[in-house]
Amino acid sequence: MAIVCILCNILLLVPELKIQFLLDGHVTREATWATGLWGSGFLVLLGARAFVQSSRTRGCCAFRSQMLCQLLYSCLCLLSAASCSLVSATGLSQGPLCLYNDSSGPTWGVPLQPLPGRHSGYLFNRTLWSGVCLEPSSVVQWNLVLFGVMGTVSGLQSVLCGANILNSILGLILGQGLSHSKISPVSV
């Protein structure tokens, strides 16, 4: 899931797969924040790596220290994935940055942004998708798909991290439970 978020954010930075839009500063603001790269990407991968490594520890207090590490990493991952989900939802609702015809001629801006007194937004009005933005081509669909996928995946990451936080808290409180109680079979 982290790799999906990283790829989505990279693709959001290069509409039409052209780096020139990024170099000229003509990329949607929420994409440039790169929460898919650092939030739901690298920080979640770091947390997953720590989770896998902590399961290999052995020793006297290894279980509770393992649960504490998992709790801390899961909290970090939850915050970063939730921030990516929030930024993705904001990017979806605001619309893409594109070249559009204004009263003064072609202008770079966010023409599909919901404003009071104008339209309520572009998400449910498909007629706005193709007629407003002149450049980059198909930028509305590009942003819809990529922000939608990134927001959904990072939301799922948040849910999984929240479940791991609960598991870690229970592990800290209850310990290993009965998993190490050895019951030997009855010999006849």
Q: Say what percent of the chain tops pLDDT 70.
A: 87
Per-residue pLDDT of 52-94, as tens digits, reads 776 665 655 777 788 888 899 999 999 999 999 999 999 999 9
> Are 5 and 41 a contacting pair, CB within 8 Å?
yes
What CA–CA distances, in Å, run from 124 to 17, 114, 119, 140? 26, 12, 11, 12
**Taking the complete model, does pTM exceed 0.85, yes or no?**
no
pLDDT confidence of 108, banded at 50, 70, 90? Answer: very high
pLDDT confidence of 112, banded at 50, 70, 90? Answer: confident
> How far is it, in rounded angstroms, from Cα 76 to Cα 73?
5
Kindly state the average pLDDT of the residues 93-104.
Answer: 90
Helix, strand or coil for residue 133?
A: strand
Tokens of 136: 């980059």
Residue whose C-alpha is closest to residue 128's, from 105, 116, 104, 110: 110
> How far is it, in rounded angstroms, from Cα 107 to Cα 33?
23
> How far is it, in rounded angstroms, from Cα 141 to Cα 131?
12
pLDDT at 8: 96
pLDDT at 102: 87
What CA–CA distances, in Å, run from 101 to 105, 109, 110? 5, 10, 11
> How far is it, in rounded angstroms, from Cα 188 to Cα 185?
9
- 171 has pLDDT over 70: yes
